Amino acid sequence: NGAISFKDVHFAYDPARPILKGISFEVPAGKTVAVVGPSGAGKSTLSRLLYRFYDVQSGTITIDDQDLRTVTQKSLRKVIGMVPQDTVLFNDTIAYNIRYGRPGASEGEVTAAAEIAQISEFIRHLPEGFETKVGERGLKLSGGEKQRVAIARTVLKAPPVLILDEATSALDTTTEREIQAALDIVSKNRTTLVIAHRLSTVIGADEIIVLKSGVIAERGTHANLLAQN
C-alpha cells in the first residue's frame, strides 16, 4: 500500500509566480519514481506538498486514494518517512536520535537499524555541540554520517511511503555510493519518491520524471530517457 497520485497539481508560493503548473503522475504501491530537473524546477516543492507542508491550490494529491487535504499532518507523518538534505540532530545520544523514528522501539531494534545504516560505533555518543553534565564531548559527524542517522531513523520507522530529497547530493562519490546502497535497502518494497539532481543517481527507478519550469518535460525509464537524449 501507500500508492501516491498527483492529479493536475498547481501550486505557487506567490500567486503571481506559479511554480507547479499541472503536474500529474503516479507512484504505484511499492514502486520508486524519481523526479529530476534543473535547480528551481519545483522538485522539492513536490515533496513538500506530499508531506503537506503546504496544500495544493488546485488538483489533488492522494495516498491510497485518500485526499491529503482530509488527512491530518500527524497521521501523515506515520505513513511518510523523509530522508532530508540536511538532518537535524537533537540534544541526546545518536541512539535517541534514531529512536525518534519510532519511540516505542526496543534497544535491539535501534541497534539493528544503526547496523543497517553503518553507524553502530556512534550510537552511545552525543552529537557535536551538545555536552552532558559530566562534560562528555559531542561527536562531530560529517554530512554523510548525519545522513546515516536519518536513514537509521527511517529504517526503524519503516513507513510505507518514503521521500528521499536529494539524499546523497552533498556527499563525496564513495560516501554517495555507500549511502545509496543503504537507501536501496530502505526503499525496497516501499512507495518511494526520490528527488534528484542527476539522472545517473536514479538508474534503478521504475519511472523518471523530468521537471522543467513546473511542468513535466519528459518521462520514462532511465534507458528510455538516455535513448531520447
- Toward ligand ADP, which CB reaches closer, 39 or 174? 39
99 touching ligand ADP, by CB under 6 A = no
- Toward ligand ADP, which CB reaches closer, 19 or 216? 19
d(CA 198, CA 194): 11
- CA 72 from chain centre, in angstroms, equals 19
Q: How far is the CB of 90 from ligand ADP (least distance, A)?
A: 4
84 touching ligand ADP, by CB under 6 A = yes
d(CA 82, CA 187): 11
- CA 222 from chain centre, in angstroms, equals 20
Amino acid at 30: G
179 touching ligand ADP, by CB under 6 A = no
- Toward ligand ADP, which CB reaches closer, 27 or 80? 80
Give the residue among 53, 114, 42 at the shortest CA–CA distance from 82. Answer: 53
The stretch among 83-91, 107-115, 129-137, 138-146 that binds ligand ADP (CB under 6 A) is 83-91
44 touching ligand ADP, by CB under 6 A = yes
Q: Considering just the CA atoms, what is the radius of gyration of the chain in Å? A: 18
125 touching ligand ADP, by CB under 6 A = no
198 touching ligand ADP, by CB under 6 A = no
d(CA 215, CA 207): 16
Pick from 1, 24, 40, 198: which binds ligand ADP (CB under 6 A)? 40
168 touching ligand ADP, by CB under 6 A = no
Buried b (16+ CB within 10 A) or exposed e, 102-119: beebeeebbebbbebbbb
- The residues that touch ligand ADP, with contacts defined as CB under 6 A, are 13, 19, 37, 39-45, 77, 82, 84, 88, 90, 97, 100, 150, 153
